[in-house]
Amino acid sequence: MVSDAESAPVFAKPPVTLREVAAAAGVSVATASKALNGQGRMTAETRERIRETARLLGFRPNSLAQSLLRKRSFTVGLLTNDTYGRFSLPLMAGVSDALVDKGVSVFLCNVEDDPRLGQLHVEAMLDKRVDGIVATGKRIDRHLPVDLSNLRIPVVYAFTQPDPGAVGLVSDDAGGARLAVEHFLRLGRRRVAHVTGPASFAVVHTRAEAYRDVLRENGLAVGEPLLGAWSEGWGHEAVAKLFGRANREGWPNAVFCGNDQIARGVIDALRERGIRVPDDVGVIGFDNWEIVAEATRPPLTSVDMNLASLGREAGLALLSLVDGQPAAPGIRKLPCRLVVRQSG
Amino acid sequence: MVSDAESAPVFAKPPVTLREVAAAAGVSVATASKALNGQGRMTAETRERIRETARLLGFRPNSLAQSLLRKRSFTVGLLTNDTYGRFSLPLMAGVSDALVDKGVSVFLCNVEDDPRLGQLHVEAMLDKRVDGIVATGKRIDRHLPVDLSNLRIPVVYAFTQPDPGAVGLVSDDAGGARLAVEHFLRLGRRRVAHVTGPASFAVVHTRAEAYRDVLRENGLAVGEPLLGAWSEGWGHEAVAKLFGRANREGWPNAVFCGNDQIARGVIDALRERGIRVPDDVGVIGFDNWEIVAEATRPPLTSVDMNLASLGREAGLALLSLVDGQPAAPGIRKLPCRLVVRQSG
DNA sequence: TTCCCTTGAGAAAACCTTTTCCCAAACCAC
DNA sequence: GTGGTTTGGGAAAAGGTTTTCTCAAGGGAA
């Protein structure tokens, strides 16, 4: 019979401490610390001997102890309410990537839309002495269910509604919409329709406004944007509305869609009607959700919000705030980019 | 002119410490600590006075200091190489949810497929004295680009290839496949085809094997599974192969697909051929990727791997390992569930 | 030789909390 | 009164590191 103690994995062997390194090298902990950090004064020979000893013993300083002393934990909290992750994950990966190289780790805090959960996470972050917080959401026009306004640590908002006076980073939706519409115009398409999401989303209006602006600036007729849902189904319906009229003269020859799912619905519906994309009608989506954009037939041209860069910028912004460099409060808009495939 | 110091946000005011609470309550720090933790002996009146003082001052113990002493940081690392997130995010949310209630925070570590990045993150975790690590991937049959085999802390693998002798949690793919095929049989469909991904994926074989088993157990003809890509395009091609033959008698009346994208392609292709779903042919997908499953026409019946539960279980398993309870090493398979919509 | 300065390195405080041990006072029984 | 036991609470060490201060030895100049 095998005893539990025997079958259980043996972790044991606690990490080697600075004290042990110092003892092994025959110096005091103070000297050892200074040797490893390049501080203090000592003979090059002593310093090297200590370093070598540390290397041999596999010494790694205890971050907890360092943080306690330095009042800087080299960790930040990342709040999100987007479990679904289409927007969140690239953003989060961006934040993480920007920080890992600076030795900063990221706490993942999924707050759903639950204020209790939000409170719980924020308190945990504060207790763990994070240096700052990045707040992320799935909507640019909604607050997270937490109050971050009077924390004693800096907060950066990325892709979510910032508190007044705080630093916020969002994608430049108007610019993204311009990119799409101007691309159509450059290709000679002059009857551009816009099919987008529900009126309750701020970005719907931002993008629609930019759409109108570009057309007006070019002296073209401005169609009324079609507001609906963020779904393929709505794309189908919208095509029925736009292309239902008998006289083909009234048909648009370009459709700028509020997201890729709508665009997918539009493309499928057009094909079912025998209207060719891009020959007869160009289609551009928004979000550049690759898995969708690459599966449409033909592959979808789409506006990319550069969320990974947005995340990186947010991480860096937080870091400079943590370092005490004052940042201009307010919302900074980061440019989108158009990913041209074959649909428009 | 406004000085920088004036315009910069004022964070300041360091957190209140136990020492301050003790001073305010007129006791020693030792007594204060004991009062707040329900330890030691003192008059109920004293204990209450200290607690009240702490509450008034908004005292929150410094986790860093606690961790240093207790040799337990109440943090864990979550390694993932899935930036895309379809599988990872529910899993990660599950891990996080399971742990936040126990006061454990989660470090997000995106290691991509880069060993250097993996090394970096693992060392950071170790330095920060995490209590354990959850390793997560986008593939069940691949290792993360890190070596976690000789750490001094427990590791749980979820949805990725575990080291030998370690604790691993994966979805029961064979069971999931059975669910799908048996559902078809229950509905009286007896000519079931299987269209799935590339041979390089272990799950392709696991599921195909289960598919064959169920048919054999029921004395039915076993068609050769069609291996291809995880894409809509492959779904289209597969339909051409399956339904290209002239005599309709040879056609399947059910298609079990290896993922939802293939299923989507199959459904679209069938519709284009005038074959009705589910009247003529039933279709079931795998992954229950809601955004896809709900957008197919008709909505897609699909196998759900319960990734959020998987994450929760992984979190809890790690926790009990951290608490020193020995866990049976090896791979534990968690059941899938069939989400019935309209396609099959 | 005396004084001063530099060099190399150690002692100790600090960060904040927990826990063990200890002590004085009060209380009890005899 | 005496010996013993509670009772309430404090002193101090511990956890691992960084940093400031101190100090002895050695060197150079006068």
Residue-level pLDDT at B18: 96
Pick from B91, B72, B68: nearest CA to B130:
B72
The pLDDT of residue A41 is: 86
Residues of A in contact with B295 (CB under 8 A): 231-233, 261, 264-265
Nearest Cα to Cα of residue A75 among B106, B91, B85, B111: B106
The pLDDT, as a whole number, for residue A8 is: 39
- Closest nucleotide C1' to the C-alpha of B61: C17
- Interface contact A83-B68, CB threshold 8 A: no
Taking an 8 Å cut-off on Cβ atoms, the answer to whether B295 and A128 are in contact is no
- A29 Cβ within 7 A of any nucleic strand C atom: yes
Q: What mean pLDDT is predicted for residues B294-312?
A: 96
Considering chain A, what is the average pLDDT of its residues? Answer: 92
Residues of A in contact with B73 (CB under 8 A): 64
B109 and A96: CB-CB below 8 Å?
yes
Which of B11, B71, B86 minimises the CB distance to A153? B11
The answer to whether some atom of strand D lies closer than 7 Å to the beta carbon of B42 is yes
pLDDT of residue B2: 37
Residue A42 (CA) to nucleotide C4 (C1'), in angstroms, measures 21
Chain C nucleotides covered by protein, CB below 7 Å: 7-12, 14-21
- Cα A132 to Cα A75, A76, A324, B21, B101: the distances in Å are 8, 5, 11, 25, 22
Q: How far is B38 from B120, CA to CA, in rounded Å?
A: 40
Contact A85 B89 (CB under 8 A): yes
pLDDT at residue A337 greater than cutoff 80? yes
Of A52-56, A149-153, A209-213, which gets the smallest average pLDDT?
A149-153
Helix, strand or coil, per DSSP, at residue A263: helix
Best of A59, A69, A105 to substitute, by most chain B Cβ atoms within 10 angstroms, is: A105
Query: And the tokens for B324?
Result: 């020193």
Facing A78 at nearest CB: one of B73, B93, B108: B108
- Identify the pLDDT of residue A84: 72
Nearest CB to A85: which of B71, B85, B295?
B85
Please state which of the ranges A146-150, A170-174, B124-128 shows the lowest mean pLDDT.
A146-150
How many whole angstroms separate alpha carbon B314 and alpha carbon B99? 10
B146-190 tens-digit pLDDT:
999 889 999 999 999 998 889 999 999 999 999 999 999 999 999
Mean pLDDT of the region B57-68:
96
In 3D space, the residue among B47, B287, B10 whose CA is nearest the CA of residue B173 turns out to be B287
Mutate which: A92, A116, A127, vs B, most B CBs within 10 A: A127
**C-beta atoms of A106 and B108 within 8 A:** yes
Residue A188 CA distance to nucleotide C10 C1' (Å): 80
pLDDT of A9: 45
Contact B42, B31 (CB under 8 A): yes
Q: How far is the alpha carbon of A83 from chain B, nearest alpha carbon, in Å?
A: 6
Q: Is the CB of B17 under 7 A from strand C?
A: yes
Give the pLDDT score at A342: 96
Confidence of residue B3 (pLDDT cuts 50, 70, 90): very low
**Do the Cβ atoms of B64 and A75 come within 8 Å?**
no
Q: Report DSSP state, residue A114.
A: -
Q: Do B126 and A8 touch (CB under 8 A)?
A: no
Q: What is the mean pLDDT of chain B?
A: 92
Cβ within 8 Å, pair B110-A93: yes
Contact partners, residue A87, CB within 8 Å, separation at least 6: A138, A159, A307
Torsion of CA B119, B122, B126, B132, to 10 degrees: -150
Identify the bridge partners of residue B107 per DSSP, sorted by sequence position.
A107, B77
Between chains, do A83 and B90 touch, taking CB under 8 Å as contact? yes
Average pLDDT over residues B125-137: 96
Q: What is the 3-state secondary structure (H, E, C) of chain B?
A: CCCHHHHCCCCCCCCCCHHHHHHHHCCCHHHHHHHHHCCCCCCHHHHHHHHHHHHHHCCCCCHHHHHHHHCCCCEEEEEECCCCCCCHHHHHHHHHHHHHCCCCEEEEEECCCCHHHHHHHHHHHHHCCCCEEEEECCCCCCCCCCCCCCCCCCEEEECCCCCCCCEEEEECHHHHHHHHHHHHHHCCCCCEEEEECCCCCHHHHHHHHHHHHHHHHCCCCCCCCEECCCCHHHHHHHHHHHCCCCCHHHCCCEEEECCHHHHHHHHHHHHHCCCCCCCCCEEEEECCCHHHHCCCCCCCEEEECCHHHHHHHHHHHHHHHHCCCCCCCEEEEECCEEECCCCC
Which bases of chain D are contacted by protein, using any atom under 7 A from a CB?
Answer: 7-12, 14-21
∠ CA B224-B230-B234, nearest 5°, is: 65
Length A17 CA → C28 C1' (Å) = 51
Tokens of B72: 């337990």
C-alpha to C-alpha distance for A303 and A340, rounded to whole angstroms: 8
Is the pLDDT higher at A282 or at A5? A282
Does the pLDDT of residue A6 top 70, yes or no? no
Amino acid B184 CA to nucleotide D28 C1' distance, rounded Å? 98
Contact B97, A78 (CB under 8 A): no
The confidence score (pLDDT) of residue A5 equals 37
Protein residue with the closest CA to the C1' atom of nucleotide D6: B41
- Return the closest-CA partner of residue A283 out of A219, A237, A329, A341: A341
Q: How confident is the model at residue A223 (pLDDT cuts 50, 70, 90)?
A: confident
d(CA A222, nearest CA chain B) in Å: 30
At B328 the pLDDT is 87
State the pLDDT at residue A305.
97
The predicted structure's pLDDT at residue B341: 98
Contact residues, chain B, for A88 at CB < 8 Å? 85, 89
Work out the pLDDT band at A164, boundaries 50, 70, 90. Answer: confident
Is any atom of nucleic acid chain C found less than 7 Å from the CB of residue A128? no
Strands B337-339 and B301-304: antiparallel
User: Does pLDDT of B9 surpass 60?
Assistant: no
pLDDT bracket for residue A150 (50, 70, 90): confident
pTM, entire model? 0.91
CA dist A324 and A23 (Å) reads 38
Q: What percent of chain A has pLDDT over 90?
A: 80
Which pLDDT value is given to residue A12? 59
